[in-house]
Structure 1
Amino acid sequence: MNNETTTAQTGQDAGNQPAGHLLGAADIRRIAAEAGVSPTKKFGQNFVIDPGTVRRIVREAGVTANDHVMEVGPGLGSLTLAILETGASMTAVEIDPPLAERLPATVAEFMPEASSRLAVVNRDALTVTPENVPDFNDDDTFTLVANLPYNVATPILLTLLERFDNLGSFLVMVQKEVADRLSAKPGSKIYGTPSVKLAWYGTAERVGTIGRNVFWPAPNVDSALVKFTRYAADDASAPGSGPDAAPRELTFQLIDAAFGQRRKTLHAALKHMVPAEVFEAAGIDATRRGETLTIDEFAALAKALDQYNSGLSQTAQGEAA
């Protein structure tokens, strides 16, 4: 999803930066017409038409003038302007060429002093890497603030976290059901693959809901905000920490297999991957279902399996010698 507002705002934001001119209803219609743009299902475009919502997103994200921000799906630029008015610098990743081309002109018109702090990349967020978008390579950490296309929100988040080790936090607006899954805990009915994989990288929580009436066009689903904080590199409690930590790829393979047949026990769901002795070595009861395991338990199982496979490989090499 993308983001737009209907009225100009005045006053001061949380960071005491002078408030900028956010887009008014007439501004939105004019810009959309000039760019030949109308909301499309192809790109999951639903523009926010409430200035309070975009400012709330920025406030919940805690963006300050010292931050470097990535925005995915900036649309006509309302959330972009709300981010820029904090004094932050940012890179907006937009898949739709007309919108990507138009965005700098919108910022130049409504917040010209911020133009030098904006970079725009016309690219599918799922293809973004540190090589083709090097803007963040010199940052110790950066944050993602976005109103994500609902149909690809989870893949975008997991892909960016995998590729950018310095993506330290995000605040995103997503479909309410997606937000619930991303922040779900073990044992709940909505706890699943997105919940566990996101927990590999850090902690997530739902920090608010958004009504349908703030969008143009109004979607047929409710929305919510999810806030995420990544584990610090030296955090010993992180699932992937330590020299003998479980491999992420193997851990995720186990997660996918366990939730691919979530009503089955681990013994049944993972029977082609995990021998009985590996469950014992990891201290995991094989009669449990995957939906009851924490990310730490999946990591422990993956570590035990990795050690088991390494032992088999060394034995085979010894016999060959």
Structure 2
Amino acid sequence: MAQAQLLGPVDIRRLADELDIRPTKKLGQNFVHDPNTVRRIVAAAELGEKEHVVEVGPGLGSLTLGLLDVAECVTAVEIDPRLAGKLGETVAEFAPERRDALRILCADALTLRPEEVGEPTALVANLPYNVSVPVLLHFLAIFPSIRRVLVMVQAEVADRLSAAPGSRIYGVPSVKASFYGDVRRAGAIGKNVFWPAPNIDSGLVRIDCFDAHTAPWDLGETTRSRVFPLVDAAFAQRRKTLRAALSKHFGSGARAEAVLRAAGVEPTVRGEKLEVADFLRIADAAEVAE
């Protein structure tokens, strides 16, 4: 597979000028203009040639070109019609032999339906920072075919997603992401590889997703609908004990305590001490207690 020519700073400014694009904070637009950073992201994703990669927020196409170097096909989801319309032209200019491997959807990633994409095997993206966690969790929920995730997000969000139980930054994103697979920090990205340079550093997060057949728990909607509300309640007031935090969810403190004890969880601990498996046991115990 011939290597695509990647975009540099001059290319990014030219493409933006052609579209009269001025990056907006509302859409979380910061365009990567450093080819080495693109190569680093693609390498960290460890993609095979047969991959169907879905990319959210391709922008001017920096990462898209890098992904087309290694993946069999790429579906790019872009909310901005101007950027979506230009992306095909950019790929035709910089990687003409790979144009047919790219599919472009002008859509809001948060309302995307599975049938619009098919069965992607990987999510690799520089996620729009203002919606990064909702987009990530939405894609993990609707695409069980995804086996690998490599996303760039704000450094602080990367830390939270990959945090371990007991950490002060461990919370709802940490638990929900780890429901789907093994989550880890995969590197740090500085400000100067972007145009415009953001005010914050970025981080890479990698998730090696569980296979539905070998996962430690059922990954379906039924399980999520039982477990995720417990997670939300446990961290809504994170300084409260689980007995207090879950009292509204279970109707009373006494019932919350009974369920927690049945699940083998001490009622006086806080949610930040629990792993996904603990929340699953609580959900199971609640069903038995009904």
Q: TM-score range by the shorter chain?
A: over 0.9
Report matched runs for 1:142-153 at 5 Å.
Answer: 142-153=121-132
Name the SS of the counterpart of 2:123 in structure 1. Answer: strand
The CA deviation at 1:218 is 0.7
2:92 aligns to what SS in structure 1?
helix
Query: Which deviates more, 159-168 or 185-194?
Result: 159-168
Change (3 A) 1:87 1:293: closer
Q: Equivalent residues in 2 for 1:3-152 (5 A)?
A: 17-131=1-115, 133=116, 135-137=117-119, 142-152=121-131
Length-normalised TM-score, structure 2: 0.94
Indicate the structure with greater helix content. 2
Q: In structure 2, the residue corresponding to 1:85 is in which secondary structure?
A: helix
Match of residue 279 from structure 2: 298
The residue type equivalent to 1:264 in the other structure is K
Instruction: Confirm or deny that 1:187 pairs with 2:166.
Output: yes
Deviation at 1:64, TM superposition (A): 2.8
The answer as to 2:230 corresponding to 1:254 is yes
What is the deviation of 1:279?
A: 1.5
Describe the superposition over 1:10-59 as per-residue Cα deviations: whole angstroms up to 9, x where unpaired.
xxxxxxx4322112333222211112212111110011121100111011
Contact 2:52 2:71 in 1 (8 A): no
Structure-1 separation of matches of 2:198 and 2:13: 19
1:307 and 2:283 correspond: no
Distance in 1, matches of 2:244 and 2:129, equals 33
Residue 271 (structure 1) aligned to one of 244, 247, 252: 247
Q: Secondary structure at the match of 2:206?
A: strand
In 1, are the aligned partners of 2:260 and 2:267 still within 8 Å (CA)?
Answer: yes
Match in the other structure for 2:145 = 166
- Does structure 2 conserve the Cα–Cα contact (< 8 Å) formed by 1:196 and 1:255? yes
The Cα offsets for residues 256-306 of structure 1, whole Å up to 9 and x where unpaired, read as 011001101011111123313211211111011111011100110011112
Q: Deviations over 1:51-103 (max 9, x none)?
A: 10011101110123211100000001010001112253110000011000000
Counterpart AA for 2:59: G
Deviations 1:223-267 (A, max 9, x none): 1110001111122523x369xx98321211111011001101011
1:282 counterpart = 2:263: yes
Shift of 1:127: 0.7
- CA 1:219/1:236 → structure 2, altered by over 3 Å: closer, same or farther? closer
Q: What value does the CA root-mean-square deviation take over the aligned residues?
A: 1.6
Larger Rg belongs to:
1
Structure 2: runs of 5+ lacking an equivalent = none
Letter in 2 for 1:253: P
Task: Provide structure 1 residue ranges, at least 5 long, that are not aligned to the other structure.
Answer: 1-16, 310-321
Are 2:164 and 2:170, in contact at CA under 8 Å, matched by a contact in 1?
yes
| Match among 221, 226, 229 for residue 208 of structure 2 | 229
CA contact (8 A) 2:7 2:34 kept: no
